[in-house]
Amino acid sequence: MDFSIQKKEKNTVRKHFQAAIIGSGPAGLTAAIYLGRSKVETVVFEKVIPGGYVVNVEKIENYPGFVEGISGEKLGKLYAEHAEKFGSEIKSEEVTKLELNETPFKIETSRSSYTSDSLILATGTSNRKLAVPGEKEFTHKGISFCATCDAPFFEGEDVLVVGAGNSGVQESLYISRFAKHITIVELLEFPTAEPILIDRLNDNNKIDLFTSHLVMSFKGDKMLSSVDIKDIKSGEVKNLKIKGAFIYAGEIPNNDLVRDKLKLDEKGFIVTDEYLRTSVNGVFAAGDVRNTPLRQVATSVGDGAIAGYEAYRFLEERK
Amino acid sequence: MTIKVYTNSSCPYCTRAKRFLKEHGIKFKEINISTYPQAAKELKEKTGQTGVPVILTGNHKIVGFDENKLRNILKIK
């Protein structure tokens, strides 16, 4: 039997795909599972490791089926394994440029160039920066955006956490295993985290919450040593001595690749219809990067299923 | 050239950096701050860094996972 053709195909690096997915979080990898099961030649481009933003979460407790919770990193690995099982290829290459004017769409990455007949954007969000004096200067010199990465550096120290949403409160609870004391600063009059997390916050005697407070500036010499915060009701400014700060002040969409190519809403999220179609035919968006009322693993998985199915239907209709 | 990589088990960029080095057959010594908490203190005192990964090689210090920088310093095509 002659295996030469099969062998040649296996050794050839594929440069064209029927579907390309940018982003390997819950939305992107779910879309890959659905496309793989539809026998669509699919590639997923990942920037860091499978899982997307979720890999920063120590334990996800509200994703159905995992009664005791599951680590974000483990869930990401399971998604990747599942997508590969059904034939999708995952490439560790950062996409640097897209051309959407004509099909096949052109994709440039940090290592190569590809084309694809359809595209799913699942690039997620990043932590919003505060844009206050000292933030840039002291990043990695006291300021961090990843508690699961950097909390051990603050063993026995006083730490600030900015934001009392789900991320801010959940990460404060994690940091409290290391830090001596944590002050959470929230701009709003109330925390917006889930009530179950607020209960845990109230039960933790290492954490204080200041609502209606604004971070004015981070200070220090070579390393972060204090922060000025302002009570927006009274106007009083306080200086807190801290060695570390973790910032969870909301999210911004990772829309750099499509900012001038797709219709975005006023906050920069990609506008889609109910079939997750964007303003360009054949381009879909799924998960946190699109205009959606809730950004959770569960909603991203739902988005990925719809986007994968709709990309498949788009490809079928073109035949 | 000895390469030291300071990591944390739950840090995605650390996982990515280690995978990159392994993929290119580069040997390195891993120092995990969650296994050796003293290493976090030492790294902070020695380099002024409070984030991982930190990759130390020769006179170079690479903070975070920066593929282009790693390729340049380690001469990977």
φ, ψ (nearest 5 deg) of residue A166: -55, -45
- The whole-number pLDDT of residue A11 equals 55
User: Would you list the DSSP string of chain B?
Assistant: --EEEEE-TT-HHHHHHHHHHHHTT---EEEETTT-HHHHHHHHHHH---SS-EEEETTEEEES--HHHHHHHHT--
Number of H helices, E strands in chain A: 7, 17
Inter-chain residue contact B49 with A92, CB threshold 8 Å: no
Pick B2 or B21 by higher pLDDT.
B21
Q: Is the pLDDT of residue A172 over 80?
A: yes
- The whole-number pLDDT of residue A9 equals 47
* Angle at CA of residue A147, ends A142 and A152, nearest 5°: 70
Residue B33 is part of a domain; what is its CATH number? 3.40.30.10
A with B: how many residue pairs have Cβ under 8 Å apart?
71
The span from the first CA to the last CA of chain B, in angstroms, equals 18
Q: Is the pLDDT of residue A101 over 60?
A: yes
Round to whole Å and give the CA distance between A220 and A20.
46
- The whole-number pLDDT of residue B2 equals 85
A179 in Cβ contact with A244 (< 8 Å): yes
Please name each of the domains of chain A with its CATH number.
15-126+251-318 (3.50.50.60), 129-247 (3.50.50.60)
- The whole-number pLDDT of residue A6 equals 44
Strands B60-63 and B54-57: antiparallel
Q: What does the mean pLDDT of chain A come to?
A: 94
Inter-chain residue contact B48 with A223, CB threshold 8 Å: yes
* Angle at CA of residue A261, ends A257 and A265, nearest 5°: 90
Pick A195 or B68 by higher pLDDT.
A195
Please count the structural domains in chain B.
Answer: 1
% of chain A exceeding 90 in pLDDT = 89
Query: For B51, which of A110, A144, A155 is closest by C-beta distance?
Result: A144
- The whole-number pLDDT of residue A173 equals 97
b/e burial code for range A9-45 (CB count within 10 A of at least 16 → b): eeeeeeeebbbbbbbbbbbbbbbbbbbbebebbbbbb
Q: Is the pLDDT of residue A1 over 80?
A: no
Q: Which of A10-19, A51-60, A145-154, A221-230 has the highest mean pLDDT?
A: A221-230
Catalytic residues of A: 146, 149-150
Round to whole Å and give the CA distance between A3 and A297.
43
Pick A218 or B37 by higher pLDDT.
A218
- Tell me the shortest Cα–Cα distance from B4 to chain A, in angstroms: 17
Strands A237-241 and A224-231: antiparallel
- The whole-number pLDDT of residue A13 equals 85
Residues of chain B contacting residue A94, judged by C-beta atoms under 8 Å apart: 67
Residues, chain B, total?
77
Round to whole Å and give the CA distance between A308 and A58.
28
- Tell me the shortest Cα–Cα distance from B35 to chain A, in angstroms: 10
Give the confidence band of A52 by pLDDT, cuts at 50, 70, 90. confident
- The whole-number pLDDT of residue A3 equals 44
Average pLDDT over residues A221-237: 97
Q: Is the pLDDT of residue A54 over 80?
A: yes
Average pLDDT over residues A273-280: 98
Round to whole Å and give the CA distance between A112 and A129.
31
What pTM was computed for the model?
0.89
CA neighbor of A124 nearest in space, from A19, A267, A25: A25
Give the confidence band of A4 by pLDDT, cuts at 50, 70, 90. very low
Average pLDDT over residues B26-54: 91
Q: Is the pLDDT of residue A150 over 80?
A: yes
Q: Which domain holds residue B47?
A: 3-74
DSSP state of A268: S
Tell me which of A93-102, A176-185, B13-22 is least confident.
B13-22
| pLDDT tens, position by position, A178-216 | 999 999 999 999 999 999 999 999 999 999 999 999 999
Inter-chain residue contact B50 with A244, CB threshold 8 Å: yes
Round to whole Å and give the CA distance between A153 and B41.
7
Average pLDDT over residues A17-25: 97
- The whole-number pLDDT of residue B9 equals 84
Q: Is the pLDDT of residue A248 over 50?
A: yes
Residues of chain B contacting residue A155, judged by C-beta atoms under 8 Å apart: 37, 40-41
Pick B61 or A38 by higher pLDDT.
A38
Give the confidence band of B59 by pLDDT, cuts at 50, 70, 90. confident
